[in-house]
Chains A and B, each alone.
Chain A
Amino acid sequence: MSQPESAVADAQAGGRSGQEPLAKLAKRYGLRRAIARPRFPVYLRMLWQRRHFILTYATSRNVTKYSSSTLGQLWQVLTPLLNAAIYFVMFGVILGGGKDIENYPAFLLTGMFIFTYTQRTVTAGAKSISGNLSMIRALHFPRASLPLAYTIQELQQLAISMGVLLVLVVLTGEMPTWYWLMIPVVLLLQTLFNIGAGLVVARVGAQMRDLNQLLPFITRTWLYASGVFFSIQAKVVGAAELPQWVADVMYLNPAASYIEWMREILIPTYNTSHGHHPPTMVLVSCVFWAVFALGFGFWYFWRSEERYGRG
Chain B
Amino acid sequence: MAELTKELSQVKGDKPAVSGKDVRVHPNPEPQGKSPLDVPTGTPTVIVDDLHIVYRVYGAASDAEKGNAVNALTRVLRRQGRPQMKEVHAVKGVTFVAYHGDAIGIVGRNGSGKSTLLRAIAGLLPPHKGAVYTDGQPSLLGVNAALMRELTGERNIVLGCYAMGMTPAEVKEKYQEIVDFSGIDEFVQLPMSTYSSGMGARLRFAISSAKTHDVLLIDEALATGDRDFRKKSEERIRQIRESAGTVFLVAHDLRVIEQTCNRVIWLHKGKIKMDGDPKEVISAYNKG
A64 at interface by CB-CB < 8 Å: yes
Contact A214 B73 (CB under 8 A): yes
A52 proximal to B (CB < 8 A): yes
CA distance A216 to B72 in the complex (A): 12
On chain B, the residues within 8 Å of A272 by CB distance are none
| Nearest chain A residue, comparing its CB with the CB of B164 | A139
Interface of B is mostly: mixed
Cα distance, A49 to B274, chains bound together (Å): 42
CB distance from A303 to the nearest CB of B (A): 15
- With beta carbons under 8 angstroms apart, the residue of B49, B76, B127, B143 that contacts A35 is B127
> Are B123 and A140 interface neighbours, CB within 8 A?
yes
A214 touches B76 (CB 8 A): yes
| B: interface residue count bin | 35 or more
- Interface check B227, CB cutoff 8 A: no
Q: Give complex CA distance A31, B133 in Å.
A: 5
Chain A residues in 8 Å Cβ range of B58: 209, 311
In the complex, chain A residues whose CB is within 8 Å of the CB of B69: 213-214, 216-217
Binds B, one of A17-25, A97-105, A117-125, A174-182: A17-25
A141 with B3: CB separation less than 8 A:
no
The yes or no answer to A95 lying at the interface (CB within 8 A) is: no
A213→B275 contact, CB < 8 A: no
Answer yes or no: A310 CB below 8 A from chain B CBs: yes
For chain A residues 9-56, which have a beta carbon within 8 Å of chain B? 9-10, 12-16, 19, 21-23, 25-26, 29-35, 49-50, 52-53, 56
- Point out the residue from A5, A23, A61, A140 that lies within 8 Å of B165, measured CB to CB: A140
By a CB distance below 8 angstroms, the chain B residues around A209 are 58, 82
Considering the complex, which residues of chain B in the window 135-170 have a beta carbon less than 8 Å from any beta carbon of chain A?
Answer: 135, 137-140, 142-146, 148, 150-151, 155, 158-159, 162-165, 167-168
Residues of B within 8 A of A29 (CB): 43-44, 135
The minimal Cβ–Cβ distance linking A306 to chain B, given in whole angstroms, is 6
Give chain A nearest CB distance to B9 CB in angstroms: 16
**B146 near A135 (CB under 8 angstroms)?**
yes
Q: In the complex, are the beta carbons of B72 and A210 less than 8 A apart?
A: yes
Give the residue of A5, A60, A311 whose beta carbon is less than 8 angstroms from that of B273. A5
Given contacts A26-B133, A56-B158, A208-B76, whether A13 and B272 have CB atoms under 8 Å apart is yes
Q: Residues of B contacting A306 with CB < 8 Å?
A: 126
Q: Please state if A25 and B44 are interface contacts (CB–CB under 8 Å).
A: yes
When A52-B168, A60-B159, A135-B145 are in contact, do A32 and B134 touch as well, CB less than 8 Å?
Answer: yes
Known: A23-B49, A60-B151, A311-B56. A32 touches B124 (CB 8 A): no
Chain A: interface residue total (CB-CB under 8 A): 58
Q: Once the chains bind, are B159 and A10 in contact (CB under 8 Å)?
A: no
Inter-chain contact A213/B68, CB cutoff 8 Å = yes
Give Cα A132 to B126, complex, Å: 18
Are B165 and A138 closer than 8 Å at their CB atoms? Answer: no
Report B-chain residues with C-beta under 8 Å of the C-beta of A132: 145
A57 within 8 A of B: yes
User: Chain A residue with minimal CB distance to B112?
Assistant: A2
In the bound complex, do residue A25 and residue B155 qualify as a contact, i.e. CB atoms below 8 Å apart?
A: no
For B33, give the chain A residue with the smallest CB separation: A19
Which residues, 39 to 90 on B, are CB-close (under 8 Å) to A? 43-47, 49-50, 55-58, 66-73, 75-76, 82
Across the interface, name the chain B residue whose C-beta is closest to A53.
B162
User: Closest A-chain residue to B55, C-beta based?
Assistant: A311
With beta carbons under 8 angstroms apart, the residue of A60, A135, A137 that contacts B125 is A137
> Would you give the shortest CB distance from B85 to chain A, in whole angstroms?
8
Counting CB contacts under 8 A, is B96 at the interface?
yes
- Interface residues in chain A, defined as those with a beta carbon under 8 Å from any beta carbon in chain B: 1-2, 5-6, 8-10, 12-16, 19, 21-23, 25-26, 29-35, 49-50, 52-53, 56-57, 60-61, 63-64, 67-68, 132, 134-141, 208-210, 213-214, 216-217, 306-307, 309-311
Which 6 A-B pairs have CB atoms at the shortest separation, nearest pair first?
A: A311-B56, A34-B123, A138-B142, A26-B133, A217-B69, A31-B133
